[in-house]
């Protein structure tokens, strides 16, 4: 399982838990606020992963381009890929105790 799949599954689990709690009529107003906030955080994480994945695809495309001009212009790509990986690892940190979490994600 790669880190994007791992994150997508954890976010879906978080979202399902929040929706379950929101359907409970005994949840307090503060609990309801928290669960609504969790749903928004799930959406924000999904959007961020989408941005990172689009940027990663652009960087990979630039690196494998045949043009020598593109090679000179794509010197940024390897470093950008590292930053993208670190961003995904930061998003995975709250799930460090999950059995599918890879310890290598702790040390970028």
pLDDT over threshold 90, residue 90: yes
* Burial (0-12, 13-18, 19+ Cβ within 10 Å), 42: buried
| Band of pLDDT at residue 2, cut at 50, 70 and 90 | very high
Residue 104 lies in a domain: no
Residue 89 lies in a domain: yes
Tell me the H-state helices in 1-108: 3-22, 29-64, 68-73, 77-92
Instruction: Enter the tokens of residue 37.
Output: 């906030």
Residue 14 lies in a domain: yes
Residue 11 lies in a domain: yes
Report whether 68 contacts 44 (CB < 8 A). Answer: no
Q: What is the pLDDT of residues 23-79, one digit of tens each?
A: 999 989 999 999 999 999 999 999 999 999 999 888 888 777 755 555 556 677 778
Residue 41 lies in a domain: yes
Give the count of domains, the chain. 1
Residue 29 lies in a domain: yes
Query: Rounded to an integer, what distance in angstroms lies between the CA atom of residue 8 and that of residue 37?
Result: 18
Per the structure, the complete domain to which residue 71 belongs is given by: 3-96
State whether residue 96 is helix, strand or coil: coil
Residue 107 lies in a domain: no
Residue 105 lies in a domain: no
User: What's the pLDDT at 61?
Assistant: 84
User: What's the pLDDT at 96?
Assistant: 96
Query: Rounded to an integer, what distance in angstroms lies between the CA atom of residue 106 and that of residue 100?
Result: 13
Positive or negative, the Cα torsion across 63, 102, 98, 83? negative
């Amino acid at each position: 399982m790669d880190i994007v799949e791992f994150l997508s599954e954890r976010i879906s689990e978080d979202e399902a838990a929040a929706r379950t709690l929101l359907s409970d009529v005994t949840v307090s107003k503060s609990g309801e606020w928290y669960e609504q906030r969790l749903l928004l955080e799930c959406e924000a994480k999904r959007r961020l992963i989408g941005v990172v994945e689009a940027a990663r695809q652009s960087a990979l495309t630039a690196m494998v381009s045949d043009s020598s001009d593109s090679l000179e212009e794509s010197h940024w790509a390897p470093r950008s890929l590292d930053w993208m990986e670190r961003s995904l690892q930061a998003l995975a940190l709250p799930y460090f105790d999950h059995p599918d979490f890879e310890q290598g994600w702790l040390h970028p």
